């Protein structure tokens, strides 16, 4: 009984704050630092490396409060790169289901957006947006770290 | 009580996301199993639907870090089938791209190995000093990672003579920074304590597992395709095969760091050699590829890449077989990790191949009987970091 009351209070609080600050729920969730989780599908590793490159001194996304986290349960943004093959598909779905909602899904690279060069492969199981909803696409093979940064910063100001 | 610690599958320790299962008794790894297939894209089959020109873009995307080695081996293979001799300038350019890739790949590995040991400074440094190499790539080829430089009978783009001073300048910078990294790794007592005597692969192990590349060279097996079956410009320049006698993780680091100096010297000699050739003379035109078969190999940063192609006179390959170095090197885990503690297993796994792109986010340990989660990837990493801390304190 007490627990449910507490729960109600929390919800009430959040909605009150939202109303006061004139924010939407989604806007409120993504207002502070974004935590990124990276899912590498059947990729060629270049996109993975460029994502990691974003964290190293030259690009340094931590300036924007972004950080790579170890579990999707802590993440606000799910970065998916690489084509998705039959073995990856159920795992991607599971990871998406585990993620706290709302979550921003970003498809990175030609493979993530459309399947790229691997789209005709016999193990290809559909581009990312056929499996889970995608909010942003960053094309390129691989996209430069600048492009990844620009994409995420654009999302921040959306 | 035996525990299974899965590392992966979305844990790109190697070229592909793979699942490693460490069977542990207490702290000690008793057995290791691995499972692949998460990264299967059907490249050999896809290649049969691409023309030879298109196939270069496909093989480039087998592995992003080795995105020259595969086209290199494929180009050697196709040159053999077409029976062409490529111009000297093209040979030099091929070697330059191959060696630049080795530098960036080894730097990447040094960084990641540092990350495993809890030396995030080394990680950040190495990746910072890798950026100029990527800039160089962007200047020469137009892209940071997938270069699209190779074609049958030569290369696609020339490196103009006026770019040479800039290339040499960046190489000098990289050399200085390599000195710094080598100093940081070679003189640090903690790194010595963490990596010496860890992940031992004796000469006999290497030969019986057929391991290649720096993994083999760190155990005093001087195997290097660039010397054993010379291709491109390697017979035209002076260099030596780097080996070490340590057999452990430290020796692997040593081999990789010293190889970077060799690569820099090879590139400098290639640039000097290129000055003697005519600008723009970068390919031998190949009208058609006859029916037949050919093999080609190249020394990737991780070992020998091998391509085998069968043609039937059309512009599509009939069969295309690829063997990457990691495929053989992975098998050595059975020797290098078994008998080690879990904390040392991570670095032993990483020692063979550097493509450790991410944190161990889906690695966890669970009790076989209760299926309870015991350790996740971060905790394993923390254990490793703690051991480094302890050693540091004792010294
Ligand atoms: S988009 Fe290009 S670089 Fe990225 S994983 Fe796919 S093939 Fe590799």
Rounded distance between C-alpha atoms, residue B147 and residue B157, angstroms: 10
Which of B315, B322, B331 lies closest to B42 in space, CA to CA?
B322
Residue owning the nearest CA to atom 3 of ligand 1: A142
Which residues in chain B are contacts of A124 at CB distance < 8 A?
Answer: 41-42
Interface of A with B in 96-115 (CB under 8 A): none
A135 in B contact zone (CB under 8 Å): no
Residue-range domains of chain A with CATH? 33-156 (3.40.50.12280)
- A32-to-A23, A72, A74, A148, A154 alpha-carbon distances in Å: 13, 17, 14, 19, 15
| pLDDT tens string B238-277 | 998 998 888 888 888 889 999 999 999 999 999 999 988 8
Identify the pLDDT of residue A3: 47
Identify the pLDDT of residue B343: 78
Residue B5 has pLDDT above 80, yes or no: no
| pLDDT tens string B16-40 | 566 777 787 877 888 877 776 677 7
CA of residue B48 to ligand 1 center, whole Å: 20
Q: Which of A42, A52, A120 sits opposite B357 (nearest CB)?
A: A52
Residue owning the nearest CA to atom 8 of ligand 1: A44
Rounded distance between C-alpha atoms, residue B24 and residue B5, angstroms: 7
pTM of the model: 0.84
Start-to-end CA span in chain A (Å): 40
Residue B215 has pLDDT above 70, yes or no: yes
- B241-to-A20, B73, B270 alpha-carbon distances in Å: 69, 19, 17
* Closest A-chain CA to B122: A56
- From-to residues of CATH 1.10.645.10 in chain B: 43-326
Average pLDDT of span B173-183: 89
* Closest A-chain CA to B61: A44
Interchain CB distance below 8 Å, B358 and A53: no
Is residue A142 reached through a cis peptide bond, with omega within 30 degrees of 0 on the bond before it?
yes
| pLDDT tens string B62-98 | 888 878 888 999 999 998 899 888 998 999 999 999 9
Q: Which fold has domain B43-326?
A: Cytochrome-c3 Hydrogenase; chain B (1.10.645)
Interchain CB distance below 8 Å, B41 and A85: yes
DSSP letters of B63-111? -STTTTHHHHHHHHHHHHHHT----HHHHHHHHHHHHHHHHHHHHHHHH
Of the residues B357, B362, B382, B385, the best mutation for testing chain A's interface (the one with the most A CB atoms within 10 Å of its CB) is: B357
């Amino acid at each position: 009984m007490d627990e449910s009351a507490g729960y109600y209070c929390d919800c009430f609080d959040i909605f009150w704050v939202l109303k006061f600050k004139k924010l939407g729920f989604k806007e409120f969730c993504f207002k502070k630092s974004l935590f990124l989780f990276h899912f590498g599908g059947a990729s060629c590793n270049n996109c993975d490396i460029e994502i990691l490159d974003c964290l190293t001194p030259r690009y340094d996304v931590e300036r924007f409060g972004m950080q790579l986290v170890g579990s999707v349960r802590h993440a606000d943004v799910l970065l998916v790169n690489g084509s998705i093959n039959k073995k990856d598909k159920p795992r991607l779905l599971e990871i998406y289901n585990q993620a706290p909602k709302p979550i921003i899904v970003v498809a990175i690279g030609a493979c993530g957006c459309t399947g790229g060069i691997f789209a005709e492969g016999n193990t290809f199981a559909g581009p990312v947006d056929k499996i889970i909803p995608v909010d942003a696409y960053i094309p390129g093979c691989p996209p430069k770290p600048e492009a990844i940064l620009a994409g995420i910063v654009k999302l921040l100001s959306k | 009580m035996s525990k299974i610690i899965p590392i992966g599958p979305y844990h790109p320790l190697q070229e592909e996301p793979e699942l490693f299962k460490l069977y542990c008794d207490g702290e000690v790894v008793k057995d290791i199993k691995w499972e692949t297939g998460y990264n299967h894209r059907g490249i050999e089959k896809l290649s049969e639907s691409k023309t030879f020109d298109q196939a270069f873009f496909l093989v480039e995307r087998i592995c992003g870090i080795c995105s020259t080695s595969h086209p290199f081996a494929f180009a050697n293979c196709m040159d053999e089938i077409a029976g062409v001799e490529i111009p000297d300038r093209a040979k030099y350019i091929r070697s330059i791209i191959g060696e630049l890739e080795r530098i960036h790949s080894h730097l990447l590995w040094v960084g990641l190995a540092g990350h495993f040991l809890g030396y995030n400074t080394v990680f950040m440094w190495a990746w910072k000093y890798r950026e100029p190499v990527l800039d160089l790539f962007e200047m020469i080829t137009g892209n940071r990672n997938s270069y699209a430089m190779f074609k049958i009978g030569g290369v696609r783009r020339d490196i103009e003579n006026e770019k040479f001073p800039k290339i040499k300048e960046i190489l000098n910078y990289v050399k200085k920074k390599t000195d710094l990294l080598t100093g940081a790794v070679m003189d640090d007592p903690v790194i010595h304590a963490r990596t010496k005597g860890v992940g031992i692969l004796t000469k006999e192990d290497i030969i019986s597992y057929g391991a290649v590349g720096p993994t083999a060279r760190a155990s005093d097996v001087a195997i290097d395709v660039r010397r054993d079956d010379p291709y491109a410009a390697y017979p035209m320049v002076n260099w030596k095969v780097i080996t070490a006698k340590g057999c452990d993780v430290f020796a692997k680091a040593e081999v990789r760091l010293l190889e970077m100096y060799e690569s820099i010297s090879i590139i400098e000699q290639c640039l000097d050699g290129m000055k003697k050739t005519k600008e723009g003379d970068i390919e031998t035109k190949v009208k058609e590829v006859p029916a037949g078969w050919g093999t080609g190999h190249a020394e990737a940063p991780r070992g020998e890449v091998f391509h085998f192609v069968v043609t039937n006179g059309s512009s599509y390959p009939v069969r295309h077989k690829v063997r990457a170095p990691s495929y053989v090197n992975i098998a050595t885990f059975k020797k290098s990790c078994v008998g080690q503690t879990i904390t040392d297993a991570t670095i032993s796994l990483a020692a063979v191949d550097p493509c450790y792109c991410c944190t161990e986010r889906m690695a966890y340990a669970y009790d076989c009987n209760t299926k309870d989660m015991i350790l996740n990837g971060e905790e394993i990493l923390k254990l490793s970091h703690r051991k480094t801390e302890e050693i540091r304190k004792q010294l």
